[in-house]
Copies of this chain bind each other. A is one copy, B any other.
Amino acid sequence: MSLLELFVMSYPTATLLLSCPDRPGIAAAVTSYLFERGTNVVHAEQHVDVQAGIFFQRVEVEIENLSGTLDEFEIGFAVIAESFAMEFKIRLSTERPRVAILCSKQGHCTYDLLARWSLGEIPAQLAFVASNHETLREPTERAGYDFHHLPVDPANKELQQETLRRLLVDNDIDLVIMARYMQVLPARVVDLFPSQIINIHHSFLPAFPGSKPYHQAHARGVKLIGVTAHYATVALDEGPIIEQEVIRVTHRHSPEELVQKGRDLETIVLARAVKAHINNQVLVYGNKTVVFG
């Protein structure tokens, strides 16, 4: 158990993430309830999208002195939620959601995620790694995780997708990480996991969607290259953006060197997005996200 894990176990907190149509009194109702239940707010942030008329809030509370059980706490909150037509999620800092990594041949994101899991940096359970190639079986199994090879060929495409879907469902997966998976997920997978599939695209979207974005960037002569972590939707590279980052490049860099430089960005931005999601910091509305700090 890492120090971070030990810390989390000793001082459990609950994070409340919610949104609803804006109207006066929401914040007062929420904070009053949290106070009555004996919790203490450690950090809170709320925001109103004035144009869209939506209220967003994230509250992190210490629950050491919670009056009653967690179930009672949640049931009580559901009453408030209903009166404001709220959608909400509560996450305990001790929870460990179940995660699946999808990858292909390129290893940098998967190596990085495996290292973070080995170091206890990600508060989640890694259920398995699946890939359409065998390339990353060895590092996955060496790190002690299950690996599933799901080869794709034109003839079996639908069958492969169905196998993947079942694997995700049978393993009670809460979050799917596309760590440079390079395959489009079909609607029947995407629809099962709304705002639960994170993809890393190797460009600063909406610039350079589609394939070979570093080569596109090189051809256009941009002075910065970027990467984008976003929730997967059926429309390729168009889902809600969670995190983006860029790095400076010059005329000296060949497309191959852009690929090299981009690798570090991809691993970091994907890891940041995964952590933000697991820490209950991300709310999706329309095709956008609110990412609380």
Contacts and interface: CB of A to CB of B under 8 A. Distances in A.
Nearest to A221: B288
Total copies of the chain = 4
Contact of A43 (B46, B245, B246): B46
A28 interface: yes
A204 to B, nearest CB: 6
Contact of A51 (B207, B254, B289): B254
Interface residues of A, number: 75
Given A32-B28, A111-B119, A250-B291, A48 B38 contact: no
A20 interface: no
The winner among A46, A121, A241 for most chain B CB atoms within 10 A is: A46
A161 interface: no
Nearest to A255: B51
A146 interface: no
A224 B221 contact: no
Contacts of A242: 223
B44 A4 contact: no
A74 interface: no
Interface of A: 4, 7, 22-28, 30-32, 34-35, 38-51, 56, 107-108, 111-112, 115, 118-119, 121, 139, 142-143, 204-208, 220-224, 226, 240-246, 248, 250-252, 254, 256, 260, 263-264, 268, 271, 287-291, 293
